[in-house]
Amino acid sequence: MNTQAPRHAQTAEADPGGTPPDGRRNLRVADWFYRSKTASVLWLVARLWLGYGWVNAGYQKLWGSEKAAFWNGGGAGVKGFATAGVTGSTAGKGSGASYGWWAGFLHNFVIPNASWIAKVVTVSELVIGAALILGLFTGAAAFAGLTLNLVYMFTGSAGVNPAYAIVAVLLILAWRNAGYLGLDRFVFPMTRNRFRPGPRTVTPAADPPPTAPTPTPVPAPAPAS
Burial status of residue 137 (CB atoms within 10 A of its CB: 0-12, 13-18, 19 or more): buried
Alpha-carbon separation of residue 209 from 183, 203, 206, 212, 213 (angstroms):
57, 18, 9, 10, 12
Q: SS3 for 163-184, per residue?
A: HHHHHHHHHHHCHHHHCCCCCH
Q: Is the pTM of this model over 0.75?
A: no
**CA 57/CA 194 separation, integer angstroms:** 35
Digit-coded pLDDT (tens) for 146-175? 999 999 999 998 899 999 999 999 999 999
Domain ranges of the chain: 49-188
Digit-coded pLDDT (tens) for 22-69? 445 556 877 887 888 888 999 999 999 999 999 999 999 999 999 999
